[in-house]
Structure 1
């Protein structure tokens, strides 16, 4: 049903017992009939409307877990959100929010998305939400993180790109469960030299089928008529808008800075002369049978990927994937980059051979030299460990030694985690 049909069904009482209600695109007044679902409603989508506030009695929705309200016109995060006893996920992206009152943060907050707003400061109460696991803050005006976040022991993913942070607080990389971080586009990110790239004119490209689409752009099968003859490539055309990870320009710069590696989807050139001014990168085209290893996190899994329940791996394939990902990340670290999004949903693989590559540089950031960069590299070691554990979970017979190696990467004290060179050597030993 579209929004109009759903709203009509709600008003005539036909949605009794519903657990999800989606009313995006156009509403500016909260339908009071929603409260008739108070005993069952868990997910509510009011995105892309004209809301400037929410009703004072929203807390009556005492089973509500997830509220999407992105694309509305809130100047501040509604304080009434804190009255909802089971609310754990908030999506308020691109609302023009300037203020985040402490009372707006639900007690059981687990996943907070405030991407692309105008927020300058965050309340100390943010670090007092013990279940906080995923924090999306890219595209704001934040110059300082609340010191209370140093106690956010369950925080696994944080997106800070395109803010005003002069420094990253030292406690951030010491968080025991943090595995995914991005901070490109802040003054805190080291300045790097522009990377030379091959300019590829739009007129030299023959665009084919759409291969896939993500938050930052679309990927097409393409024939590049270069001076040495036609070659099949992939073209990623960027949408140009702020994503949950940051700006597409930063993704392009990181992809070019990464250089080439057998376990990366490396950039071959940068698009020029697009008739609409779109930006794009030419990438290596993988064989048609390659697929993503898993789907992205769900509402329930929050920060963990969702695998096909039928997926089963043998020892050889699991080790090949683990080795490819670890080697790709080590290569990036050697090039002064942190990937920021080492996940199975960003890993492409061949089910026949187990060959794999790491893709998607949307969350990549430049690494500082010295102790700060070393600390951030250890954060990413945890992400590699999580992925290795997931591989073991899907093996018919677990590769002897891979689970302990993965667990070593997950140690709560980041300084006790092995370096990636040690991880790679450990995988090679297991594979012998």
Structure 2
């Protein structure tokens, strides 16, 4: 974090990344002194409602974040910034997105948690668009021109007003990660999952919270004792909109997923929290498990980041691939797409044991329908990306795995293999 005083004193000359959060109501003119170097500008957490017409003077600006401000319109001047390819205006009051605000090189657009009712047709002209985050708005349709965004890989439209899933998304050749829960057309299935039998409630009073284990976009995870007898993990949802959707939708998917060796099990849903928060109670995961990779970076956009020097032997790679395919196969049979099938949502241990977690982007569908088949094909592409990463980090070539990932990555969605076939193929590759 930088300060306005540093900026005004000329102490930030040559800076490539600037972050200011100090109650700003106007854009500081001194930022233009960084025009020859500034690439990333983060003005989140202020009280801004406009940007200056001269913003294109920041000729090297690639990324701008203005989340948690007071914008009611996405500034049109953004579209004139010559190098801009990433825009983040989460949690404002934006109701209008003018076509002029969309730069031709746009790669990543985040407008989560606003009040947008429609997106301009010109969105379809953003041929470089890879990531589109529109959860938590008032959208009931998307422009049909979005079908022209053939590089689009990740879409979040959860918690809007869609009565059907937009057709323009379902045949996109590279779409791999899609979240659409919390809309009117998914509500009945989510409520049915939450009210169904099989997962008991766990009263808050039965839990003794210990240290915090982690925190994500949707909630905080604690180590706790259940009935002073069992160590458990408790995820307490923040109750706020996340980039993926709503806590209630995540809970519905977790409950509906059922028990599987490749899924983090659920002991119960949280009852009687003092502030009424939603939550889940889960077994404590063995400390030997660790994340397979880190989440995408600003530069990698839709691709996970693996630690330097990470590699797997053939048996590990095959075991991880088979374990995840088997878990997803069960999800699809129960009418659930994970929506965020990424290495950073997989925990693994040295022998290849693995667990798929984080259902924040999971959504429900009707099995046995053409739309359901398309959604499963979209998730097959995400699995193909994962297979490609496993192959790339494998110590020895894996020709059978390469053939399977090629099948998962083919452009025609309905020609990709279903997960029952994927799971069977991987099972056949496992060492005897």
Partner of 1:198: 200
Partner of 2:36: 39
Find the aligned partners of 1:267 and 1:398 in 2 and give their Cα distance: 37
Per-residue displacement from partner, 1:97-142 (whole Å, max 9, x unpaired)?
Answer: 0000000011110000000000001001111100000000000000
- What is the 5 A alignment of 1:293-372? 293-350=292-349, 352-369=350-367, 370-372=369-371
Find the aligned partners of 1:373 and 1:269 in 2 and give their Cα distance: 28
Find the partner of 2:226 among 210, 224, 227: 224
Partner of 1:207: 209
**What is the CA distance between 1:277 and its match in structure 2?**
1.8
**What is the CA distance between 1:151 and its match in structure 2?**
0.9
Find the aligned partners of 2:411 and 2:4 in 1 and give their Cα distance: 48
**What is the CA distance between 1:255 and its match in structure 2?**
0.5
- What is the 5 A alignment of 1:152-163? 152-163=149-160
Please say if residues 78 and 103 of structure 2, whose CA atoms lie closer than 8 Å, have aligned partners that are also in contact.
Answer: yes
Find the partner of 2:12 among 12, 15, 38: 15
Please say if residues 25 and 47 of structure 1, whose CA atoms lie closer than 8 Å, have aligned partners that are also in contact.
Answer: no
Find the aligned partners of 1:169 and 1:217 in 2 and give their Cα distance: 29
**What is the CA distance between 1:284 and its match in structure 2?**
2.5
> RMSD in angstroms over aligned alpha carbons?
1.2
- Structure 2: gaps (5+ residues): none
Find the aligned partners of 1:129 and 1:378 in 2 and give their Cα distance: 24
Find the aligned partners of 2:117 and 2:242 in 1 and give their Cα distance: 19
TM-score between the two structures when normalised by the length of structure 2:
0.96
More moved, 6-15 vs 311-320: 6-15
Q: Secondary structure at the match of 2:223?
A: strand
Residue 258 of structure 1 pairs with residue 257 of structure 2:
yes
- Structure 1: gaps (5+ residues): none
Please say if residues 98 and 117 of structure 1, whose CA atoms lie closer than 8 Å, have aligned partners that are also in contact.
Answer: yes
**What is the CA distance between 1:276 and its match in structure 2?**
2.1
Q: Which runs of 4+ in 1 moved over 4 A?
A: none
**What is the CA distance between 1:201 and its match in structure 2?**
1.1
Please say if residues 189 and 368 of structure 1, whose CA atoms lie closer than 8 Å, have aligned partners that are also in contact.
Answer: no
Q: Secondary structure at the match of 2:387?
A: helix
Q: Secondary structure at the match of 1:223?
A: strand
Per-residue displacement from partner, 1:158-181 (whole Å, max 9, x unpaired)?
Answer: 000011111123231110000000
Please say if residues 373 and 414 of structure 2, whose CA atoms lie closer than 8 Å, have aligned partners that are also in contact.
Answer: no
Find the partner of 2:102 among 84, 105, 127: 105
Please say if residues 162 and 184 of structure 2, whose CA atoms lie closer than 8 Å, have aligned partners that are also in contact.
Answer: yes
Per-residue displacement from partner, 1:183-234 (whole Å, max 9, x unpaired)?
Answer: 1111232622232321111111121222111000011122212xxx822221
Find the partner of 1:149 among 141, 146, 168: 146
Partner of 1:77: 74
Per-residue displacement from partner, 1:364-395 (whole Å, max 9, x unpaired)?
Answer: 11112411111101100101111111011111
Partner of 1:379: 378
TM-score between the two structures when normalised by the length of structure 1:
0.96
Please say if residues 349 and 356 of structure 1, whose CA atoms lie closer than 8 Å, have aligned partners that are also in contact.
Answer: yes
Partner of 1:167: 164
Q: Secondary structure at the match of 1:406?
A: helix
Find the aligned partners of 1:249 and 1:187 in 2 and give their Cα distance: 14
Q: Secondary structure at the match of 1:246?
A: coil
**What is the CA distance between 1:399 and its match in structure 2?**
2.5
**What is the CA distance between 1:283 and its match in structure 2?**
1.3
**What is the CA distance between 1:148 and its match in structure 2?**
0.5
